[in-house]
Amino acid sequence: MLYIRSADKLERTARWVERYPGGLSALKDVIVNDKLGICEELSKEMDDLVGTYHCEWTNVVRDSGRRNAFRQFVNTDEVQQVSESISERSQKRPADWPEDSSPLRFDVLDVAKDAKWEWREVCKLSALDRQTDAPTSATVKYGDVQLAVWNIPGRGLRASQNMCPHRRAFVLADGLIGQDEQDREYVSCPLHKRNYYLDPKPSNGGGKCSDSDYSIMTFEAKEDEENDAVLLRLPPTDALDAVLSTSKWMLRRAEEEASHLAGVSDHSIEISGPLPPSQMEERLRLMDGITSQEAPTAQISCGSSALDW
């Protein structure tokens, strides 16, 4: 508590001790010997501080309302896998991003021309947890496609695909909302900070990215206050699935394995045991350009020839 009281903001304890008048001996007098007569007061403050501690994650687990904030989708309890898993050293991990970040552009013109676009309810308006001073967002599942919906105070609703085409990561709903010099709203991908304009009309630049290699689909959105609904103008699910299906664009294990087999990249570190002394000596001779069959035999390891080099 003495440290909390007297240290500067973000000051490390070591630096605080260094600049404390009298150093450790003076601190010992204050804390152990109660030279200033404040130990009882400090102890009471510590009890108050510890008594108010609570685990935020425990509260989330116990509160169904707060757990809803961590659902993958606000319109269904389904869970969608966005990356296949790789088994490596007896553990599971997501497949790596592909080394080649080829240009990837999405446009509403990619949807079948005969698809009928209609206003469709995708989630409850209350699921957006709208605020008066900050944007809020939600992810909805429409067929096999993930869509991101935002409420921007004073501007209304915006919607787009949830997948950032740069690394095919389904994260745009978690991105920050901003405006450029022309007052156009954009979402910034939380992974690599590429900005995508959210205007629903491609003619106004909607879907374009700060990196010309990429673009996304944006959609018209409106709210129905009376029925507590969010409406998006969308084609049928099968038409949108054909272009944006999560199962189509998720990171695949086969891609990584193919790259590994082709020798394109190596994402793992293998730790192997030491070579036998004879093989190690041969390796050293080759590395040093020594052609003679004679090699030093002095042991440098600590008693075990297995680690000699």
The CATH number linked to 245 is 2.102.10.10
Q: Are residues 243 and 174 in the same domain?
A: yes
Higher pLDDT, 297 or 104: 104
Q: Is residue 284 part of a domain?
A: no
Say what the pLDDT of residue 220 is.
96
Q: Is residue 151 part of a domain?
A: yes
Q: Is residue 126 part of a domain?
A: yes
Positive/negative CA dihedral, 121, 205, 174, 150: negative
Written as six digits, the tokens of 134 are 């900050």
Say what the pLDDT of residue 261 is.
46
Q: Are residues 42 and 103 in the same domain?
A: no
Q: Are residues 98 and 171 in the same domain?
A: yes
Say what the pLDDT of residue 65 is.
82
pLDDT digits 0-9 by tens, 139-162: 999 999 999 999 999 999 999 999
- Among 219, 236, 259, the domain-final residue is 259
Q: Is residue 66 part of a domain?
A: no
How many domains does the structure of the chain reveal?
Answer: 2
pLDDT, mean over the chain: 85
- Among 259, 280, 296, the domain-final residue is 259
Q: Which domain holds residue 40?
A: 2-51
Q: Are residues 46 and 106 in the same domain?
A: no
- In the predicted model, what is the mean pLDDT of residues 75-85? 90
- Overall pTM > 0.75: no
Q: How confident is the model at residue 188 (pLDDT cuts 50, 70, 90)?
A: very high
